């Protein structure tokens, strides 16, 4: 595979993973605003399932060498920080 094609695949993989992380954040925001409280088992189950799925996607991309492990961890940690801040904000507004 040429280096240009490999780079294009890596950029697309990272963009897709970031898009999936954004979808998780949006899903949790909607759930917190409209459906359940953060302490609800449904909220926790959705969050755990989505985060596990994203971590598996990232692991797969790392194994294919489409992203490096550092970027994968940074993506997960960034999403976890955003979700934590969202959770804290919801608790303060109640």
Q: How does DSSP assign 16-83, residue by residue?
A: HHHHHHHHHHHHHHHIIIII--TTSHHHHHHHHHHHHHHHHHHHHHHHTTSS-HHHHHHHHHHHHHHH
pLDDT, position 41: 72
Show the domains of the chain with their CATH numbers: 3-92 (1.10.287.750)
pLDDT, position 46: 79
pLDDT, position 87: 77
Listed as ranges, residues in the chain with pLDDT below 50 are none
């Amino acid at each position: 595979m040429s280096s240009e094609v490999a780079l294009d695949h890596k950029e697309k993989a990272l963009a897709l993973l970031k898009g999936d992380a954004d979808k998780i954040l949006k899903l949790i925001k909607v759930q917190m605003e409209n459906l359940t409280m953060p302490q609800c088992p449904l909220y926790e189950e959705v969050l755990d399932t989505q985060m596990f799925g994203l971590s598996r996607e990232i692991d797969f991309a790392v194994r294919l060498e489409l992203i490096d492990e550092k970027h994968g961890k940074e993506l997960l940690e960034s999403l976890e920080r955003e979700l934590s801040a969202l959770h804290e904000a919801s608790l303060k507004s109640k």
